[in-house]
Amino acid sequence: MSHPSKHLLAIEGLEPPHIGDLLDLAESYALLNRSGKTQRDLLKGRTLINLFFEDSTRTRTSFELAGKRLGADVINMSVSTSSVNKGETLLDTASTLNAMQCDLLVIRHAQSGAPALLSQKVDAAVINAGDGTHEHPTQALLDALTIRRHKGRLEGLVVAICGDITHSRVARSNIHLLTTMGSRVRIVGPPTLIPADAHRLGVEVFTDMKKGLEGADVVMMLRLQRERMVGGLVPSAREFFRFYGLDAEKLAVAKPDSIVMHPGPMNRGVEIDSAIADHPTRSVIGEQVEMGVACRMAVLDILARRLPRNR
């Protein structure tokens, strides 16, 4: 079982065997979770701190559950911070965490690069739970596991990632993971929400939703992240839905057995029609949440193996 670092800060830089190992281990945790069993000795005596500078429902609770299922002592810290003293707050926090002898630190922060900065200052293994518009590595792992469970592989699949790509750390991590594993990734959205560096990401760019969805195996929808937008990059929600919202008509051009994904939180009627979000066979949104717990257990497990025993 290989992992190239003490931390998990990004998908970029991981190679196929690292990703494959994490997914295989996560798959075994998915089976364990379904059987109702736990492995509470694995992280016994370890302290996991969830440090969230931004809102979260799924990510925070699934890290909490993952830590508890493996027997760690889990502490949740929600912090609000003003943008002027962010750097200072972060370094102060680092010394507090060191004093508490935290082993595993899960951090979400509005600033890209905050987890990497903190990883240089704390003794703990740091896991990025989403930093600004940069990366959200555990989301990409859970998405990949969900895809692999449905399609049996990642290689050669056509995956369309649609909507607000520019502001999405989920898109960035998924692009790195899926291209590394040999999927063909398309990004689909209005020109104002396609990142300027798209051509360097190894993806195909589409501004016409139907062309982007044609023949896709996987359709991944993203939330319009208005909190990260400067100025009006999209017209009205209604107009956005007309051109880029996923409904039955647009989905009809994807493969008949294609799956529909969304990391949540969803804006129903903006990027996705409710009937599609709740579709009994096409939507795998609920399974993504389930796989989130399994993937986070795998990440905690792999990183804990590298920690010194009983500091």
Binding footprint of ligand NCD, residue count (CB under 6 A): 11
Fill in the amino acid letter for 48.
L
CB of 77 to ligand NCD, least distance (A): 17
Structural tokens at position 310:
């009983």
Tell me the two tokens of residue 151: 């399609």
CB of 169 to ligand NCD, least distance (A): 5
Considering only residues 213 through 272, tell me which ones interact with ligand NCD, judged by CB under 6 A: 223, 225, 263-264
Residue 293 CB, nearest approach to ligand NCD (Å): 13
Query: Which residue number, 10 or 47, has a Cβ lying nearer to ligand NCD?
Result: 10
Which one of 141, 170, 187, 293 is in contact with ligand NCD (CB under 6 A)?
170
Largest CA distance in the chain: 58
Is residue 94 a contact partner of residue 121, using CB atoms and an 8 Å limit?
yes
Q: Which is nearer to ligand NCD, 46 or 126 (CB)?
A: 126
Q: Which two tokens stand for residue 107?
A: 């951090």
Shorter beta-carbon distance to ligand NCD: residue 52 or 206: 52
Choice from 6, 58, 86, 121 touching ligand NCD (CB under 6 A): 58
Secondary element (H or E) of residue 106: strand 104-109
Nearest 5°: CA angle at 60, between 285 and 43?
110
- Rank residues 69 and 134 by Cβ distance to ligand NCD and give the closer one: 134
Three-point CA angle 234, 240, 245, nearest 5°:
140
Q: Which of residues 101-130 bind ligand NCD (CB under 6 A)?
A: 130
Instruction: Determine if 139 is a binding residue for ligand NCD (CB under 6 A).
Output: yes
Which residue's entry shows tokens 């493996």? 70
- Shortest distance, position 271 Cβ to ligand NCD, whole Å: 10
Candidates 179, 217, 202; CA nearest to 16 is 179
125-131 β-sheet, strand order: 73-78, 47-52, 104-109, 125-131
Binding positions for ligand NCD, rule: CB under 6 A: 58-59, 130, 136, 139, 169-170, 223, 225, 263-264
